[in-house]
């Protein structure tokens, strides 16, 4: 079985393909043939920083997300059987032809949703759902600022905000991404690479500032996101891979804002919640209310190129590896 691993921390060049014995599922586990694996910034963090996934010895596995078909089940597993189509959001080692997944981490993929769409939807779709329906439940008339609005997460988040009646101000890094963000429903798009977007966001929100900002773009945008908020606005911070801001003095936070670090796992902390939230995403896809943009598909062996492309910020939508 082919799998992608890293022998040390470093750049995309440390990713290598290895041959491993076919895994066998243990009690409570399911063996899945991977049809498509999602590429996420989390994977880049694991590759770059040895502190990530410190419980794994080198060579470390890569990838957490994918979709495929059940090959075998371990002892005690009754809800899954060989041949079923499934997807998952967190199973380390998903950059492989086969992966062992805890039974409780799987969701059923309905007819009408293909494997690539299912794989592209899981991590970022569940994250976007958490941000807009749980961490800050967007209400009709709310104005949201979405950073990286042409990325896989940003495109899904924009659509979910629009489904809930909100207005989206998207921020993108280049002019050629504007059309992609608008196609997803962004009402306004700001092109910015220097963190100088706040004044325009305030203007576009009618002069009061936005109700909520979703910022996973690292320290450079932190102050601008604060400045873009209205009184009692909400700051949804995520994405530790790009770094954190300096220490915050809570009494210096402006405008009575609410600031929090949103973690999607809290949205799907039980198998029932995972399956409920995933089913809602699939329903939106089947009804045409949510579109998944796949920005690039790479052979499994080209995982390093996928990482390099994602880090270059030239891509839009979701990147997938196809074993």
pLDDT tens, residue by residue, 62-85? 999 999 999 999 999 999 999 999
Domain annotation for the chain: domains and CATH numbers: 2-121+271-322 (3.90.180.10), 140-261 (3.40.50.720)
pLDDT in tens, 228-272: 999 999 999 997 666 677 788 888 899 999 999 998 888 899 999
Continuous segment of H or E residues that includes residue 69: strand 66-73
How many whole angstroms separate alpha carbon 166 and alpha carbon 300? 38
pLDDT in tens, 17-48: 999 999 999 999 999 999 999 999 889 999 99
Predicted structure pTM score:
0.93
Q: How far apart are the first and last CA of the chain?
A: 10
Q: What confidence tier does 55 reach under pLDDT thresholds 50, 70, 90?
A: confident
Separation of alpha carbons 68 and 27, rounded Å: 20
The answer to whether the beta carbons of residues 104 and 65 sit under 8 Å apart is no
Find the angle CA(84)-CA(85)-CA(86) to the nearest 5 degrees. Answer: 110
Instruction: Label each residue of 188-209 as H, E or C.
Output: EEEECCCCCCHHHHHHHCCCCC
> Quick one: residue 319, left, alpha or beta (phi over 0 = left, psi -120 to 50 = alpha)?
beta
pLDDT digits (tens, 9 = 90+) for 155-209: 999 999 999 999 999 999 999 999 999 999 999 999 998 889 999 999 999 999 9
How far is 35 from 305, CA to CA, in rounded Å?
19
């Amino acid at each position: 079985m082919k799998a992608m691993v890293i022998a040390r921390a470093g750049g995309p060049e440390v990713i290598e393909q290895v041959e491993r014995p076919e895994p066998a599922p243990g009690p409570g586990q399911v063996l899945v043939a991977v049809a498509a694996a999602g590429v996420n910034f989390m994977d880049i963090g694991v590759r770059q920083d040895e502190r990530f996934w410190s419980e794994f010895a080198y060579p470390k596995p890569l990838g957490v997300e994918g979709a495929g078909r059940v090959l075998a089940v371990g002892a005690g597993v009754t809800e899954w059987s060989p041949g079923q189509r499934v997807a998952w959001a967190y199973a380390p080692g998903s950059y492989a032809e086969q992966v062992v997944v805890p039974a409780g981490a799987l969701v059923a993929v309905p007819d009408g949703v293909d494997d690539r769409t299912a794989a592209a939807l899981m991590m970022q779709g569940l994250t976007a759902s958490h941000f807009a329906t749980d961490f800050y439940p967007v209400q009709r008339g709310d104005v949201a600022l979405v950073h990286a609005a042409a990325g896989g997460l940003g495109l899904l988040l924009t659509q979910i905000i629009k489904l809930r009646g909100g207005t989206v101000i998207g921020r993108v890094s280049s002019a050629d991404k504007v059309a992609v963000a608008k196609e997803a429903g962004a009402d306004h798009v700001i092109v910015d690479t220097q963190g100088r977007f706040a004044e325009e966001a305030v203007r576009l929100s009618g002069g009061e500032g936005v109700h909520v900002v979703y910022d996973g773009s690292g320290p450079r945008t932190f102050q601008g996101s604060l400045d873009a908020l209205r009184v009692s606005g909400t700051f949804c911070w995520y994405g530790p891979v790009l770094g954190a801001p300096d220490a915050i003095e809570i009494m210096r936070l402006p405008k009575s804002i609410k600031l929090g670090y949103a973690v999607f796992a809290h949205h799907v902390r039980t198998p029932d919640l995972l399956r409920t939230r995933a089913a809602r995403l699939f329903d939106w896809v089947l009804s045409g209310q949510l579109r998944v943009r796949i920005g690039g598909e790479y052979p499994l062996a080209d995982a390093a190129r996928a990482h390099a492309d994602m880090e270059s910020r030239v891509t839009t939508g979701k990147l997938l590896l196809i074993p």
